[in-house]
Amino acid sequence: MIRCRKCKRIYSDYADHCPECYTKSPRGWVGFIMPILSVAIAIIVIAWTAYTFWNRPGRH
């Protein structure tokens, strides 16, 4: 059981805030979206570098 940092309510979760405070605060949404965005950007960068690496001229 974890106590919420904002409202001091006890709840069973691994996040910093309880769901009520988490959805209310914009930082909660940013903290939820940023890892997804960073993972998506990393996948795009890796795929782009692999694509340009395999399709570069002079490989044939």
Residue 57 φ then ψ, to 5°: -70, 150
- pLDDT for the residue numbered 5: 66
Among 17-21, 42-46, 48-52, the range scoring the smallest mean pLDDT is 17-21
pLDDT of residue 50: 93
pTM of the model: 0.42
Per-residue pLDDT reduced to its tens digit, 1-42: 666 666 766 666 555 556 666 555 555 566 677 788 889 999
Task: Please tell me the predicted confidence (pLDDT) of residue 44.
Answer: 97
Residues 6+ apart with CB under 8 A from 2: 10, 11, 12, 13, 14
Phi, psi dihedrals of residue 10, rounded to the nearest 5°: -90, 130
C-alpha angle 11-15-19 in degrees, rounded to nearest 5: 60
- How far apart, in Å, are the Cα atoms of 15 and each of 21, 27, 34, 45, 59? 11, 13, 15, 29, 49
